Amino acid sequence: MIDYSPFWETLKNSSESTYTLINQHHISSATIDKLRKNKPMTTTTLNDLCRILDCPVGGIIMYIPSDQDQKL
């Protein structure tokens, strides 16, 4: 399962907020909602967040093995 909890810590330690992400950087409120609910998003969006927050992708997401993962 992809987990976005690192995003919230990175955001907390930055000069940005959800308000500035939406209003200054044009990240949609739907994207913020996806981050809150651990929903899928594109790598383009992940790239934008990494650029805005000046962090590696690990500052946004992490993988946690789960029994609910899709079988391969």
Inform me whether the pLDDT recorded for 69 exceeds 80: no
| Helix, strand, coil share (%) of the chain residues, nearest 5 | 50, 5, 45
In degrees and rounded to multiples of 5, residue 31 shows phi and psi of -65, -40
> Does residue 67 surpass a pLDDT of 90?
no
With CA atoms as reference, report the closest residue to 43 among 33, 54, 31: 31
Q: Work out the pLDDT band at 68, boundaries 50, 70, 90.
A: confident
Under the banding of pLDDT at 50, 70 and 90, the label for residue 15 is very high
